[in-house]
Structure 1
Amino acid sequence: LRSGTQDVAAAAGMAAALRVAVDRRDSEAARVGALRDRLAALLSGIDGVRINGALGRDRALALPGVLHVSIAGCEGDSLLMLLDAKGVECSTGSACTAGVAAASHVLLAMGLDTATARGSLRFSLGADNTDDDVDVVADVIGEVVARARAAGLLSAAGGRTEGIS
């Protein structure tokens, strides 16, 4: 312990914030979980989308604010950049692997193949998210997936565009 005056005002403020958070925890988890479920239903309507993790197996075990998907025929980095350009923030992996251009070791350990793991995105939802945020994803996701798949075809063809429209 260091000597000095304790920050009583900050401790009281933290206690008040914790009381509010605990009081609202159940209703907020339900609200955010409903957003996650709506986003999952929207993404599930796209050919080649796989819901990963607990949500794909047992909804009761899933975190309310996390949706993890893999999109066949797409590179996660392409999806990420295209979504970012449309104002959608998401992630291809955890913060501890940011900037690593490799399939997630966690997804591989879960049994996903390398291509599926590399085509994965994590959407995180929280207190600031609304139905409008899900609507933005709904408005852009079809175009984004089509462009990411076309980019993958171009890459696989060595940059040639024959047969790609």
Structure 2
Amino acid sequence: PKTGERLEAGEEGEMVFTTLTKEAFPAIRFRTRDIAGYMEEPCECGRTLPMQTRIKGRSDDMMKVKGVIVFPSQIEEAMMKVKGVSENYLIVKKKKGDMTTLLVRVEPIEERYKEGNLDSLAEKVEEEIYAILNLHVPVEIVKPGTLPRSEGKAKRVVEE
């Protein structure tokens, strides 16, 4: 996103597009803030034009932690692989000087919370996060219903 240079196929960067077919709003080098890549391999359907890869996240959601680029969507992806975890979570970003650290607060589903042994649940979530990010992020299990709820788009990252 910083240089604005075109990337090679398979590399990831900010999606930028141009369309001249919109009469009222021709978009020339429109910056989406979405991080993705493109592939040049032909599609099974016969299409030969380059295809966009899955959007990894938004450049304005991107965090750098211990030299690793982290998107909230990656943490959510890891959490959803763990049975007993609800969709309610909060990423706590802490800054000390130039150093940024993360903590993830997770609400388990009610039944899993009642079972107890929440340390093993936290460990499983930490392992899944590490598998995706190659970064140790501590996980704190909280009682169901304690994390803030919001209408519309949920606020998943807070700074403390």
TM-score bin, normalised by smaller chain: under 0.3
TM score, norm. by length of structure 1: 0.26
Between Structure 1 and Structure 2, which shows a larger proportion of strand residues? 2
TM score, norm. by length of structure 2: 0.26
Between Structure 1 and Structure 2, which shows a larger proportion of helix residues? 1
